[in-house]
């Protein structure tokens, strides 16, 4: 267990800066998930912590000691790779024992540790096998075993589940969480999968183009996204965004279509007349009688998922200064109960659940103050 | 598989059998000639059936030969072929490792320099190479026989290509496990290259064994002759009769080690090909 402190971490390849100064304090035993779209710098960030990439500027400290110039092996960390990176010519046992052997541990202790890790991961019967004789999930476990036996201060996971099928992914996700809880080892986990991010993390780091957009608990990130990017990235289907502006008295926002939405709980006094992006989660819209509607949805497509029915379309009259709605940009999705009887082409009258508005500055994309 | 019957099947078979017979006949003649006496060979027609002198001729060849016992030449050839094969593999493994895994100044220049030497076989540079070896007093020595042939652009290139297919994560995982560059090379890269090494060994051993021009130049002492060039030395010149049965026995003996290497190593090689572990 170790605390990690990262200050103003930057990385450049030649003249191109890919990570623009990240600050984060990670407590001992915390499970941190770094999530973001591909190319946002999340893997580079992890690899810098691992010591596989040199740090351009800033510091990484583990338990108070800067490790910028410490070799990976001396950082006392273990990493699980996306491709598992098992040594193909070694048995499962030797794969797990390799690091310990190099560290010069006595054979009896190596064996004991490997046996213990194998038992924990239900790999005991596979110890004499070669990686190619194992299934994807088993290989994944061996990769984790290799990390566990070292008993490191920090675990690093680089998209460890992305090569598994959906069902196995759910199972391994639970196992990783359970394992991390029982070992209590500080963990950094990189993924582009928001479900993994939400379910595993004590705290999330949402990254976008080399910047940490938001660092907070999953629920806080979900309920109070710090920017349009975070709001759009976390949640499926994604949050709906409508253009509008703050009304003259500062207690509501007006959509381009003319509908006025009350902004309870937001202090918008200083922002009157400001152009805003209004975010509404699909589950915060419900069907109402036409007279009570905040907005009207012209349904274009319906997805029935069983438990829910998703209706996709565009808000009538919200086509940005009268233009025809852009299918991609102005799409509005609504999560309705699974038994909803709706048809394509229908118009749905929708009301926004009280207090479930998210307001962002239209120009910067940052969240406005909501107390 | 497409099954053919009757004539359609017979014609290709006949062509193939004729081809094999055509290729094998000289070898058969060599075998026959190594079992008869000198008189039977020099008086036409050439005998077509094996004679009774097999053991006698081979004993003669192995232990006395014409200029030097064939045993000695076999040993020289073995040393030369092994040194060339093992040396080439060792050097090209290391240079390929350096080129693929280390970032150093002029790395690509090094690679291309090595690569360009592919275009310069021994024969092209034989005169200056001879000069160098002579100046270094390495004529009539194993070092002189093998050193100039020991660098291999082909093998370096093959290992480079193989190393580039080894996923980077493997190197990184080893690094996280605390393995230094040499340890990674020894524990991971080398075992993964076994099949490539086996395949190259077959090719390079035969290459070394079959060297003719170079041993002919650098060895003047019959004690240092290799068997392939030794056969040439045994052929009768001008008004000499030679010793045909012994020469033919030598030719047969010269063929055996490469065959043995192919037969033995091929199994390892094929086994490696089937087990695609990566």
CB contact under 8 A, A99 and B178: yes
Same domain, A291 and A352: yes
Nearest to B175 among A73, A83, A132 (CB): A73
Same domain, A218 and A302: no
Domain boundaries, chain B: 68-274
Question: Residue A89: which region, alpha, beta or left (left: phi > 0; alpha: psi -120 to 50)?
Answer: alpha
Phi and psi (nearest 5°) for A105?
-75, 150
From the list A34, A39, A38, the residue with the least C-alpha distance to A49 is A34
- Which of the four pLDDT bands, split at 50, 70 and 90, describes residue A190? very high
| Whether the Cβ atoms of residue B228 and residue B254 lie closer than 8 Å to each other | yes
Q: Which of A260-264, A355-359, B23-27, B230-234 has the highest mean pLDDT?
A: B23-27
In this model, does residue A321 exceed pLDDT 50?
A: no
Same domain, A258 and A353: yes
Shortest alpha-carbon distance between residue A150 and chain B (Å): 9
Q: What is the pLDDT of residue A152?
A: 92
List the structure tokens of A136: 């994807």
**How far apart are alpha carbons A50 and B56 in whole angstroms?**
72
Nearest chain A alpha carbon to B176: A73
| Whether the Cβ atoms of residue A154 and residue A70 lie closer than 8 Å to each other | no
Tens-digit pLDDT profile for residues A76-104? 999 999 988 999 999 999 999 999 999 99
Q: Is B80 in a helix, a strand, or coil?
A: helix
- Which of the four pLDDT bands, split at 50, 70 and 90, describes residue A329? low
From the list A168, A171, A234, A163, the residue with the least C-alpha distance to A204 is A234
Share of chain A above pLDDT 90, in %: 53
In this model, does residue A319 exceed pLDDT 50?
A: no
Q: What is the pLDDT of residue A371?
A: 46
Q: Is B140 in a helix, a strand, or coil?
A: coil
From the list B137, B265, B124, the residue with the least C-alpha distance to B204 is B265
In this model, does residue A236 exceed pLDDT 90?
A: no
DSSP secondary structure letter of residue A52? S
- Who wins on pLDDT, B239 or A221? A221
Per the prediction, chain A carries an average pLDDT of: 88
Q: Do β-strands A16-26 and A186-191 pair in parallel, antiparallel, or remain unpaired?
A: unpaired
| Whether the Cβ atoms of residue A332 and residue A312 lie closer than 8 Å to each other | yes
- According to the 3-state scheme, what is the secondary structure of B125-161? CHHHHHHHHHHCCCCCCHHHHHHHHCCCHHHHHHHHH
Owner of token pair 């990690």: A4
Nearest chain A alpha carbon to B191: A89
Residues of chain B with C-beta less than 8 angstroms from the C-beta of A85: 167, 169-170, 172-173
CB contact under 8 A, B177 and A130: no
In this model, does residue A320 exceed pLDDT 50?
A: no
Q: What is the pLDDT of residue B67?
A: 77
Range of lowest pLDDT (A6-20, A322-336, B81-95, B206-220): A322-336
Q: Which residues pair with A254 in a beta bridge?
A: A245, A260
CB contact under 8 A, A102 and B183: yes
Shortest alpha-carbon distance between residue B162 and chain A (Å): 15
Same domain, A134 and A158: yes
- Who wins on pLDDT, A362 or B46? A362
Q: A70 in contact with B at a CB cutoff of 8 Å?
A: no
pLDDT digit string (tens) for chain B, length 278 residues: 566 677 778 888 999 999 999 999 999 998 998 888 887 877 777 778 888 888 888 888 888 777 788 889 999 999 999 999 999 999 999 999 999 998 888 888 988 888 888 778 778 888 888 999 999 988 888 998 898 888 888 889 889 999 998 999 999 999 999 998 999 999 999 998 888 888 888 889 999 999 888 888 888 888 888 888 888 888 877 667 778 888 888 899 999 999 998 888 877 767 655 655 44
- Who wins on pLDDT, A252 or A78? A78
From the list A284, A275, A282, A345, the residue with the least C-alpha distance to A316 is A345
**Does residue A295 fall inside a structural domain?**
yes
Domain boundary (A231, A246, A263) is at A231
Domain count for chain A, please give it.
2
Dihedral of CA B205/B210/B214/B219: which sign?
A: positive
Q: What is the pLDDT of residue B238?
A: 66
**How far apart are alpha carbons A23 and A215 in whole angstroms?**
10
Shortest alpha-carbon distance between residue B176 and chain A (Å): 5
Same domain, A67 and A144: yes
In this model, does residue A262 exceed pLDDT 50?
A: yes
What's the whole-model pTM score? 0.80
Q: A18 in contact with B at a CB cutoff of 8 Å?
A: no
- Which of the four pLDDT bands, split at 50, 70 and 90, describes residue A324? low
CB contact under 8 A, B178 and A87: no
Residues of chain B with C-beta less than 8 angstroms from the C-beta of A80: none
Tens-digit pLDDT profile for residues A38-59? 989 999 999 999 999 999 999 9
Q: What is the pLDDT of residue B198?
A: 86
Q: A85 in contact with B at a CB cutoff of 8 Å?
A: yes
Domain boundary (A214, A231, A248) is at A231
**How far apart are alpha carbons A296 and A367 in whole angstroms?**
25
Same domain, A181 and A323: no
**How far apart are alpha carbons A49 and A45 in whole angstroms?**
7
Q: What is the pLDDT of residue A317?
A: 60
At A310, which CATH number? 2.40.50.140
**Does residue A366 fall inside a structural domain?**
no
Contacts (Cβ under 8 Å, ≥6 apart) of B233: B66, B67, B222, B225
Return the biggest CA–CA distance within chain B.
Answer: 76
Same domain, A313 and A226: no
- Who wins on pLDDT, A354 or A123? A123
Nearest chain A alpha carbon to B171: A85
Nearest chain A alpha carbon to B278: A88
Same domain, A169 and A315: no
Same domain, A209 and A258: no
Same domain, A243 and A224: no
- Could you confirm whether domain B68-274 is CATH 1.10.3720.10? yes
Residue A82 domain boundaries: 4-231
At A20, which CATH number? 3.40.50.300
Q: A316 in contact with B at a CB cutoff of 8 Å?
A: no
Same domain, A29 and A149: yes
| Residue A124, CA distances (Å) to A29, B234, B249 in order | 27, 66, 60
Interface pTM (ipTM) of the complex? Answer: 0.81
**How far apart are alpha carbons A290 and B268 in whole angstroms?**
79
Same domain, A21 and A138: yes
Domain boundary (A187, A208, A231) is at A231
Which residues of B have a CB under 8 Å from any CB of A? 167, 169-170, 172-179, 183, 187-188, 191-192, 277-278
Residues of chain A with C-beta less than 8 angstroms from the C-beta of B189: none
Nearest chain A alpha carbon to B276: A132
**Does residue A370 fall inside a structural domain?**
no
């Amino acid at each position: 267990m170790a605390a990690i402190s990262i200050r103003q971490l930057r990385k450049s390849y030649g003249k191109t800066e890919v990570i623009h100064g990240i600050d984060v304090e990670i407590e001992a035993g915390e499970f941190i998930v770094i999530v973001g779209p591909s190319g946002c710098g999340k893997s580079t960030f992890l690899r810098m912590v691992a010591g596989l990439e040199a740090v351009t500027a800033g510091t990484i400290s583990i338990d108070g000691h800067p490790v910028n110039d410490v070799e990976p092996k001396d950082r006392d960390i273990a990493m699980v790779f996306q491709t598992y990176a098992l040594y193909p010519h070694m048995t499962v046992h030797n794969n797990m024992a390799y690091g310990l052997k190099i560290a010069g541990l006595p054979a009896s202790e190596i064996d004991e540790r490997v046996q213990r890790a194998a038992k924990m991961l239900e790999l005991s019967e596979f110890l004499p096998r070669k990686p190619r004789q194992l299934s994807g999930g088993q290989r994944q476990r061996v990769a984790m075993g290799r990390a566990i036996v070292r008993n490191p201060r920090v675990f690093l996971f680089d998209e460890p589940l992305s090569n598994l099928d959906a069902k196995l992914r759910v199972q391994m996700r639970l196992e990783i969480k359970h394992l991390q809880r029982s070992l209590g080892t500080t963990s950094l986990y990189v993924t582009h999968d928001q479900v993994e991010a939400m379910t595993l993390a004590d705290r999330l780091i949402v990254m976008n183009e080399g910047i940490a957009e938001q660092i907070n608990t999953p629920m806080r990130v979900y309920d109070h996204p710090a920017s349009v990017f975070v709001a759009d990235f976390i949640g499926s289907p994604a949050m709906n965004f409508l253009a509008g502006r703050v009304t003259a008295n500062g207690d509501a926002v007006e959509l381009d279509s003319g509908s006025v939405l009350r902004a309870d709980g937001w202090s918008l006094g200083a922002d009157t007349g400001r152009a805003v992006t209004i975010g509404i989660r699909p589950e915060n819209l419900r069907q109402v009688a036409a007279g009570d509607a905040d907005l009207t949805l012209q349904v274009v497509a319906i997805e029935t998922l069983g438990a829910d029915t998703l209706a996709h379309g565009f808000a009538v009259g919200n086509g940005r200064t009268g233009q025809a709605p852009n299918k991609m940009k102005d799409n509005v999705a609504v999560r309705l109960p699974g038994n909803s009887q709706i048809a394509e082409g229908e118009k749905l009258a929708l009301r926004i659940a009280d207090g479930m508005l998210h307001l962002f500055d239209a120009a910067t994309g940052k969240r406005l103050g909501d107390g | 598989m497409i099954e053919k019957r009757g004539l359609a099947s017979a014609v290709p078979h006949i062509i193939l059998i004729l081809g094999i017979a055509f290729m094998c006949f000289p070898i058969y003649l060599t075998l026959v000639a190594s079992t008869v006496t000198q008189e039977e060979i020099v008086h036409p027609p050439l005998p077509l059936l094996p004679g009774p002198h097999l053991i006698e001729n081979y004993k003669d060849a192995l232990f006395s030969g014409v200029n030097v016992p064939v045993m000695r030449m076999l040993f020289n050839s073995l040393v030369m072929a092994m040194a060339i094969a093992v040396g080439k593999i060792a050097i090209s493994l290391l240079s390929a490792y350096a080129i693929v895994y280390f970032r150093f100044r002029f790395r690509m220049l090094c690679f291309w320099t090595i690569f360009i030497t592919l275009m310069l076989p021994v024969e092209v540079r034989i005169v200056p190479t001879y000069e160098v070896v002579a100046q270094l007093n390495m004529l009539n020595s194993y070092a002189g026989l093998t050193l100039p042939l020991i660098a291999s652009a082909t093998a370096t290139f093959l290992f480079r290509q193989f190393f580039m297919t080894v996923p980077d994560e493997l190197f990184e995982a080893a690094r996280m496990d605390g393995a230094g560059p040499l340890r990674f090379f020894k524990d991971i890269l080398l075992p993964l290259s076994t099949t490539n090494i086996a395949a190259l060994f077959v090719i390079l051993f035969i290459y070394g064994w079959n060297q003719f021009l170079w041993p002919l130049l650098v060895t003047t002492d019959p004690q240092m002759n290799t068997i392939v060039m030794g056969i040439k030395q045994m052929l009768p010149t001008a008004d000499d009769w030679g010793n045909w049965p012994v020469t033919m026995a030598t030719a047969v003996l010269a063929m055996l080690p490469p065959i043995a290497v192919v037969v033995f190593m091929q199994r390892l090689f094929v086994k490696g090909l089937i087990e695609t572990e990566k």
